Copies of this chain bind each other. A is one copy, B any other.
Amino acid sequence: MLFEVVTVDPPPQIKLRCQRTPAARDPSPKIADQGGNYLKECGRQGLLRLYELVLEDGTAISPYAWRTRLALERLRLPFVAAGVGFTEIKTIGEGQFATVPVLQDGDLFIADSWAIVKHLDGRYGGGNLLGSTRDQNMIRFFDSWCRHRLLAPLTRICVLDIFARLRPADQAYFRQSREARLGATLEEAVADRAERVVDFRRELEPLRAGLSEEPFLGGAEPTYADFIGVAALIWAGSVSTIQLLEPDDAVLAWFRRCLAFVGGMAPKLTPRSSLAVIS
């Protein structure tokens, strides 16, 4: 039961992750003890399970779930990825959730990505991922900025790309809810995206300023602020059929540095998005 995967057609790399243990990896000394403690907890309470939205082909497609995935990887916490469609969210737990991600830790179900990372960092990470309350104030500022300057414009750029790759059962719900939110049909919303993507890149200037002196917002290592931004780009880059960033953008270099640092992450980025690493 511990390793049951409830996702429909889980992609291969997620199955693999479920079988991996921290011992097989190269954990940083700081987090290793927390990982060890975690494993004891696991034996008592069951493995962590992350409920998240997936597309028809199993690709994880929520920026809020991706930030949780990055936090789990950073903390070397093995987890079961439980993919659900939009219309299956009501099947999680006892049906008390309206959004994902939802984290199941033993008998505990936690909704909301901020509550989840507070739980994970407090219980398993020694508080290093979120830092001081001052750090957390600035992360909340950054998170709100990301909603306005990453998630909102990227939605208008990529919403039709997402729709095209949803499970058929989710498409009607998605079209109706998103068109009501956007005040336009999905096709109208993306009609001027060639200009919107130029605006989007220009508005990233504060992020470039924050990255002008050190590799990550967190300094020599990424913290949750970095993950919030990177998760938004993974989300859009997983579906986008338009180039999101210029090749020489410092934001792109940071995005790739974060993925390389965290390791274990294998987001399936579209070649057209410009975010995929050319190998």
Residues of A within 8 A of B (CB): 131-138, 140-145, 148, 203, 205-214, 216-219, 223, 225
A72 to B264, CA, bound (A): 47
Q: A144-B205, A148-B205, A205-B148 are in contact. Are A134 and B210 (CB under 8 A)?
A: no
Chain B residue contacts of A205, Cβ below 8 A:
144, 148
Copies of this chain present in the complex amount to 2
A248 to chain B, nearest CB (A): 19
Q: A133-B213, A137-B214, A214-B137 are in contact. Are A144 and B206 (CB under 8 A)?
A: yes
11 A–B contacts, CB within 8 A, in A order? A132-B219, A133-B219, A134-B219, A134-B223, A137-B213, A138-B142, A138-B217, A140-B213, A141-B207, A144-B205, A148-B203
Chain B residue with the shortest CB-CB distance to A145: B206
**13 extra interchain contacts, Cβ-Cβ under 8 A, other than A133-B213, A134-B214, A145-B206?**
A132-B219, A134-B223, A136-B213, A137-B210, A137-B217, A138-B210, A138-B225, A140-B209, A141-B207, A141-B209, A142-B206, A143-B209, A148-B205
Chain B residue contacts of A131, Cβ below 8 A:
134
Contact of A210 among B144, B209, B219 (CB under 8 A): B144
Secondary structure of the A contact surface, majority rule:
helix
Contact of A138 among B138, B143, B203 (CB under 8 A): B138
Contact of A141 among B133, B136, B206, B219 (CB under 8 A): B206
A147 to chain B, nearest CB (A): 8
Chain B residue with the shortest CB-CB distance to A210: B141
A212 to B139, CA, bound (A): 12
A98 to chain B, nearest CB (A): 22
A73 to B218, CA, bound (A): 29
A138 to B212, CA, bound (A): 11
A141 to B138, CA, bound (A): 10
Chain B residue contacts of A223, Cβ below 8 A:
134
Inter-chain contact A140/B210, CB cutoff 8 Å? yes
Contact of A137 among B134, B143, B211 (CB under 8 A): B211
